[in-house]
Amino acid sequence: MDHLISPSLLAADFTNLESEIKMINRSEADWLHLDIMDGVFVPNISFGFPVIKAVKKVAAKPLDVHLMIIDPDRYLTRFSEAGANNLTVQYEACTHLNRTVTEIRKLEMKAGVALNPHTPVSLLKNILPYIDMVLLMTVNPGFGGQLFIRESYNKISELRKMIDSGGYNILIEVDGGIDTTNASKLIETGVNVLVAGNSIFGSADPEATIKKLKRLI
């Protein structure tokens, strides 16, 4: 399959949020990525349900929601009601991960599991049959604009082998420091979905940057 682009709304201009979303609608982006942070699991706070519901009213692309929060089980139904199409939880935040991803799927969302940079992909072995996507954080989560951690290529390669050898239909998504300088290598290593924030919204022509990431010109 062709790789997907999921621009991260965290890097958008929040004083012009509607126009930023409409730009994504016009673009060749596939999804719209929303990072939900609680100030506890990560040292930052982003946005909650009122913003997600407002975004859903304008967005023409599926909402790709990443929960960087403790005890995400409390809110799964509310994220579904707010309009999430994909819901990704952090491995490190889930005590009963199988129960969590099973509930996400019951709520008719695609279930994803995210790993922090220090968490080995081998820990996913027993959960792979129950999920649709793995999100590998390629920076330490919490803030945008960080440099890509180059050791991530080894994790991507290892995860791709695990998925392929098991015959699973699972997407590999990466988030953190993604731009036009490393996108091609990431795809070659086995990535299916590129999340990009600053490199898109901070560029002079965001739509052109999305097109370049999508087509790898």
Query: For 59-143, where are the alpha helices, taking DSSP H only?
Result: 76-82, 97-106
Residues 100 and 117: beta-carbon distance below 8 Å: no
Show which residues are catalytic: 35, 175
- Residue 169 DSSP class: -
For residues 127 and 98, the answer to whether their CB atoms sit within 8 Å is yes
Residue pair 177/146 in contact by the 8 Å Cβ criterion: yes
Give 90's strand partners.
Answer: 114
- Which residues lie across from 33 on neighbouring strands? 8, 64
Which residues, other chains included, contact 27 with Cβ-Cβ below 8 Å and sequence gap of 6+?
7, 206, 207, 210, 211
Burial class (CB in 10 A: 0-12, 13-18, 19+), 151: exposed
